[in-house]
Amino acid sequence: MGNLLDVSNLKVWDAHTGKVIVHNSSFHLKEGKCLAIVGESGSGKSVTCRAIMKLNKASLFHSGQIKYKGRQLNDLAERDMRKIRGKSICMILQNGMSAFDPTCTIGVHIKETLTEHFNMSNDEMIGKMQKAMESVRLKHPIEILNKYPHQLSGGMLQRIMIALAIVLEPDIIIADEPTTALDTISQFEVVEQLIQLRKRMRTSMIFVSHDLGIVRKIADDVLVMKDGRVIEKGKTEAIFSEPQHDYTKHLIGTRLALSKHFEQIMGGEAKVAES
């Protein structure tokens, strides 16, 4: 099983202040696997993901190598990068509201995205999107497509992004703190949809979170970041059962306690589903 994504010596710094935000970070993502990036706020997780997508603000410069299927993304023109964004590497953002244009309806945004990557008729696009939205438990999809982002909840917007990913069928999904802004029940639903998405499409995933209960459930491998540095990486169970670094031990000790409530809900829901 080959590496789908290879990141080598990624360094991200602020051109105005010279402050380094990510220090020589290296990792890879294998086909069909889920890599979780964990760490506290400000550890460089989101900046790392946006560097892969070339979506960091202009004042943030980066060096190192980012290769997708052996192709160097750093050197690509914006036009070529746009072809990769969405269709090959799809990002599900922390705040659903920021992913959609507030001036147009959800349907218009989705049509624009799909037209960029596919030669589909309007009816075909709506049909595929309707089916995908129903599969992530969104009722009345046509009504939703005619609404503006501010008329929908955060959980609904996250599920619309997941539905769009189902239609796009990307090789890699980057889910950047996809549950942070949601209430507990919506968190459970979004995580379940991401797990189902991986099973159905065998898509690879980078899952960014500080909720270690979810990470343990969804990830094959874990990368631990602190102050812009990768301080530990390994198989999920090894990181949880035998963390090497003091910071990882602290993170697991405190964060797992916070995740207990969430896991109880997940467990309770799972038991209901099984019975």
DSSP state string for 4-63: EEEEEEEEEEETTT--EEEEEEEEEEETT-EEEEE-STTSSHHHHHHHHHT-S-TTEEEE
Q: Which of 76-80, 180-184, 186-190 is predicted least confidently?
A: 180-184
Q: What is the CATH number of the domain that holds 213?
A: 3.40.50.300
Number of folded domains that form the chain: 1
Q: What is the pTM of this model?
A: 0.86
Q: How many CB atoms lie within 10 A of CB 176?
A: 21
Q: Which domain holds residue 133?
A: 3-93+102-274
- Residue 137 clears pLDDT 90, i.e. is over it: no
Q: Residue with structure tokens 């789908």? A: 4
109-128 confidence digits (pLDDT tens): 999 999 988 999 999 999 99
**Rounded Cα–Cα distance for residues 115 and 98 (Å):** 21
Which is higher by pLDDT, 105 or 199? Answer: 105
